[in-house]
Amino acid sequence: MNTFLHDVISSLYSQNYNLSKLTYVVPSRRVATFLNKTIAAFLEQPIFEPIVYSVEDFISHTAQVEIASDVDLLFDFYNSYLKIEGNNTADSLDEFITWAPTILKDFNEIDRFLVPPSDFFNYLGNLKELEQGHWSILEPKTEMIEKYLHFWKRLELYYSQFTKDCTINGIVYQGLAYRLAFAKAEYQSTQYSKETPIIFLGLNALNKAEEEIIKIFLDSNNAKIFYDSDLYFQENEYHEAGRFIRRYKSHWNYFEQHNLNITSNNFNAPKSINIIGTSGPIGMCQVAGKLINKLNLESINLDTTAIVLADEALLLPLLSAIPESAKHLNITMGLTLDKTPLASFFNQLIKLKVEATDQGFYYKNVIAVLESHFSSLLDQTAVKELMNTIHKENLVYIPFLEANQDTDNLYINQLRSEVITTTNLINYLSNISDALQSKLIENENKRLELEQLLGIHSVIEQIRSIIDVQSGITDLRTIQYLFKQFLPQKKLDFIGEPVKGLQVMGLLETRALDYENIIMLSVNEGILPAGKSTASYIPYDMKIKFGLPTYTDKDSVYAYHFYRLLQRCNNANFIYNSETNSLGGGEKSRFLMQLETSGIKNHTINHSLYANKITTEKTDTLSINKDNHYFDRLGKIAISGFSPSSITSYIYNPIDFYKSKILKINDIEEVEEDMAANTMGTMIHKTLESLYLPYIDQVLDRIHFKDIRERLNNAINTAYLDSYNTIHDPQGKNIIMYEVARHYVSKMIAYDEELVKNGNILIIRKLEVRYSTTIEINSIGSVKLHGEVDRIDELNGQIRIIDYKSGMVGKSNVGVEPDNYQALITDYDKSKAFQVLMYAFLFSKNNEFTECVAGIISFKNFKEGFIPYSVKNGRSFQPRPIDVFELEKFEEQLHQIIIELYNKDIALTAKDH
């Protein structure tokens, strides 16, 4: 395979140019290495390396300026801004940072495309005024309108002052470098000659400044240009990949007398193209690893193979997926710090402090930090303790650590300390960085993470030096912004041979380079091409008017890189994310669809979907034999006591009973940011207990209910704060849940009050009373039972045992079929009947007993009122008082279910529901 670089050097060599005396301008610095290797292949004697500029370096050289970093430019721009506005009327630095980065990007575009500044800013100011309905003629204007119009009118002044300051200092932003380079291009072109011209090669989507500069050099006859084009997309006037080259060919005077070099016809050559869909980023990396392994097995030279990441965030998972058989690996793109797990950890640390409120730290932010393995590395025990506390106490906000509050753990102390100033925040990050460094140094396997940490620590110190100089930085969010700005500028470079072995690169790094075998990941719409999203204050129509690039231009850039890479390859594997519920997932790139419908006979296109194999065979019903551990735990339960819920959990599903009671495996309690049903139930119980407790053993009357209603607000508020473990009033969805709970309590009070109004005598005897008893069972011995009854009252002389339920309960749930008491222990739908009978049984063992009624009040079925235990008679359930005879029937079933629990020959078998 002859590469583009080979064809360029071959052409120059055939024209007898001294290759070492020429100056070359290439798309990127990476191309220079391959260009020098290509030149060396044409020479018999060693030579000094020729001068090779990347486009950006060439512009800086031509303009004779240095390009500053984005962060330095931001502060330089602020100083220029202050010269215009003055300290009294200017935005603070914290406010300035919220809008200035976008303005700088727009300045960049204006200069790169040589837009006349005065015309542009006048037009923009007028347009903004028109957009707001002629605000300038409104009298009087609000302060907001005045400030809005003031900003757009003075934008040209900001631009002029900033460009003036940059030019004087000789340190500029990229766009200004282009404008200055254009101004000096005619002189710089004279520094070359026909014998030693400057060679532009592999360039495509030129901005206006680049176009004009190159045209000046070409018109001087001291330059040559080589485009990497193919007839397939060059001659098709609708193909977006050839859009720029077609324009240059038709509009540049140079091409009236010169051919467009180099135009090939390689795209139509035979190619094997595999389009592979798979689920998620990890799936794509796994497929890439398998393809590399396959190439190795086929003895294909990996020196001519490239893995191209359309989404560079996949670098780390890809490295884990590349097989060891790929002995030589060159990662050309490096790893920017913002793509590392450690950067995510520090971003979470900052977010924790920035989003703190008067109530403390939001639990999701705290948990995000604690769940990081870096937190566990610092202090695993303390992390677990804090996690348990958050879940156990249902802390939506974790309060700040008081100054006098003693703690033995430095890390947790730092996490829970309130950060007020930007200096506090930097010190906090620095302290955690130091603590992490000491941990990582101890482990030789953590070298990569240690390198990441050293880079992050340097970022922290850079920000510290900035806030030491810039006194206007007082907002913690500014530190957050600066941290995110600095991270992408720091890169971890991987050691590798640049021209040997498997090459891993981003799409832009493929410019002017060719490979026989390509594996490209994330070939999805929204990633390749990237889509319409862009940060700019310049409206779309105005970009069209002034010749600024739009998303259609950017799409054409992506199209060119994609198709150019395909030109000379033999085998191309395109992997896309088929997962429909993810960002950039589900829809493959339109470039792949174009390939599928291109109809090129020499292209063999294969489609496949890759998925991890999932076993779909039906599994046997889970069954667990009762072992010694089971009986040991059962014995302990018998001593502490079986509750109604523990027995009904066995009735529902013996495996659930085994997990929760024998193995003590409980579901992790989630923090209830929005009140859960069980928490609302607890709140209702506590409110009713508080309201009725003063009137135990009293005959309730209207005066009592008047007092109860007057105390309702305080009682339910106290119950909310206690149940929800907070000191703040309900917010968001909790307001609704709070009002629902109040509604249920009010209806319960109204229900009781109505009983009294109708002449009934109602006496509350017990509230939230706990009973226990011990029974003797043959072959087992003593077994303890216990339960907590919500309410015991006396209505017209009859004892009622009442269980509150916040869910829906009907008569059939509290009733049984006649003479079918066994359903109590075999049918979970009868679990409510089992519970009230067990409460009655416990009551009978702790009080003088002849008869009672037991039942449920369902807050979601208040129309039924008190739903007593009943027995079906025909089609309806008839209430049945619970007497000694009824309890004897129940006790028989109780013995039977407990005997089953102890029967070693009956395995614990899962039930389907």
pLDDT at residue number 571: 96
Q: Is residue 882 part of a domain?
A: yes
Please enumerate in sequence order all residues whose Cβ is within 8 A of that of 103, keeping only pairs 6 or more positions apart, or say none: 77, 155, 158, 537
Distance CA 46, CA 40 (A): 8
Residue-wise pLDDT for 546-584, tens only, equals 999 999 999 999 999 999 999 999 999 999 999 876 555
pLDDT at residue number 531: 74
541's tokens: 């129509």
Higher pLDDT, 446 or 183: 183
Number of Cβ within a 10 Å radius of residue 237: 8
Are residues 514 and 466 part of one domain?
Answer: no
DSSP E strand stretches across 760-838: 762-777, 781-795, 798-805, 815-816
HSE of 348, CA atoms in CB hemisphere, 13 A? 21
When pLDDT is cut at 50, 70 and 90, the band that residue 136 belongs to is: low
pLDDT exceeds cutoff 60 at 85: yes
Are residues 829 and 780 part of one domain?
Answer: yes
Q: Which residue has the tokens 């000094």?
A: 48
The mean pLDDT of 835-847, rounded to a whole number, is: 96
What is the extent of the structural domain holding 139? 69-172
pLDDT exceeds cutoff 90 at 784: yes
pLDDT mean across residues, the chain: 89
When pLDDT is cut at 50, 70 and 90, the band that residue 618 belongs to is: low
Q: Is residue 624 part of a domain?
A: no
CA-based nearest residue to 534, from 178, 152, 155, 102 = 102
> Percentage of residues in the chain with pLDDT exceeding 90?
67
Residue-wise pLDDT for 622-637, tens only, equals 899 999 999 999 999 9
Please enumerate in sequence order all residues whose Cβ is within 8 A of that of 161, keeping only pairs 6 or more positions apart, or say none: 80, 81, 83, 84
Are residues 417 and 478 part of one domain?
Answer: yes
Q: 547: alpha, beta or left, given left = phi > 0 and alpha = psi -120 to 50?
A: left
Are residues 513 and 401 part of one domain?
Answer: no
Are residues 770 and 883 part of one domain?
Answer: yes
Q: Is residue 201 part of a domain?
A: no
pLDDT at residue number 615: 47
When pLDDT is cut at 50, 70 and 90, the band that residue 815 belongs to is: very high
Range name among 448-452, 569-573, 697-701 with the lowest pLDDT average: 448-452
688's tokens: 């009713």
The mean pLDDT of 152-163, rounded to a whole number, is: 94
The CATH number of residue 281's host domain is 3.40.50.300
Are residues 31 and 11 part of one domain?
Answer: yes
CA-based nearest residue to 437, from 525, 482, 377 = 377
Q: Which amino acid is at 764?
A: I
Range name among 378-382, 589-593, 609-613, 904-908 with the lowest pLDDT average: 609-613
Question: Any idea what DSSP says for residue 588?
Answer: B
When pLDDT is cut at 50, 70 and 90, the band that residue 410 belongs to is: confident
229-230 and 263-264: which strand pairing? parallel
Distance CA 820, CA 567 (A): 81
Distance CA 805, CA 678 (A): 10
When pLDDT is cut at 50, 70 and 90, the band that residue 794 belongs to is: very high
Peptide bond into 140 cis (omega under 30): yes
Are residues 465 and 448 part of one domain?
Answer: yes
Among 118, 144, 172, residue at a domain's last position: 172
The mean pLDDT of 524-528, rounded to a whole number, is: 92
Range name among 294-308, 493-507, 533-547 with the lowest pLDDT average: 493-507
Residues 615 and 760: beta-carbon distance below 8 Å? no
Show the DSSP H helices in 19-142 as ranges: 29-41, 55-63, 70-89, 93-112, 117-131
Residues 672 and 680: beta-carbon distance below 8 Å? no
Q: Is residue 730 part of a domain?
A: no
Residues 133 and 514: beta-carbon distance below 8 Å? no
When pLDDT is cut at 50, 70 and 90, the band that residue 789 belongs to is: very high
pLDDT exceeds cutoff 80 at 585: no
Are residues 579 and 485 part of one domain?
Answer: no
pLDDT at residue number 592: 96
Are residues 99 and 42 part of one domain?
Answer: no
What backbone phi and psi angles, to 5 degrees, belong to 785? -125, 145
Tell how far CA 647 is from the center of its chain: 42
Q: Which of 24-28, 67-71, 876-880 has the highest mean pLDDT?
A: 24-28
Q: Is residue 910 part of a domain?
A: no
pLDDT at residue number 709: 94
pLDDT at residue number 613: 56
Residue-wise pLDDT for 93-131, tens only, equals 889 988 999 999 999 999 999 999 999 999 998 887 776
pTM summary value: 0.73
Among 492, 526, 553, residue at a domain's last position: 492
Residues 348 and 369: beta-carbon distance below 8 Å? yes
Q: Is residue 287 part of a domain?
A: yes
Among 441, 457, 492, residue at a domain's last position: 492
Q: Which residue has the tokens 């506590």?
A: 686
Are residues 246 and 217 part of one domain?
Answer: yes
Provide the number of structural domains found in the chain.
5
Show the DSSP H helices in 328-475 as ranges: 341-354, 363-370, 373-392, 410-416, 422-441, 447-469
Are residues 131 and 96 part of one domain?
Answer: yes
The mean pLDDT of 22-34, rounded to a whole number, is: 94
Show the DSSP H helices in 568-606 as ranges: 590-596
Helices then strands, each counted (H, E), the chain = 35, 30
Q: Which residue has the tokens 């010169």?
A: 258
The mean pLDDT of 189-217, rounded to a whole number, is: 96
Residues 910 and 654: beta-carbon distance below 8 Å? yes
Q: Is residue 433 part of a domain?
A: yes
Residues 838 and 646: beta-carbon distance below 8 Å? no
When pLDDT is cut at 50, 70 and 90, the band that residue 616 belongs to is: very low
Tell how far CA 780 is from the center of its chain: 55
Distance CA 712, CA 710 (A): 6
In the chain the first and final C-alpha atoms are separated, in Å, by 65
When pLDDT is cut at 50, 70 and 90, the band that residue 396 belongs to is: confident
Q: Is residue 751 part of a domain?
A: no
Cα–Cα distance list, 230 to 239, 489, 560, 565 (Å) = 11, 35, 10, 11
Are residues 463 and 413 part of one domain?
Answer: yes
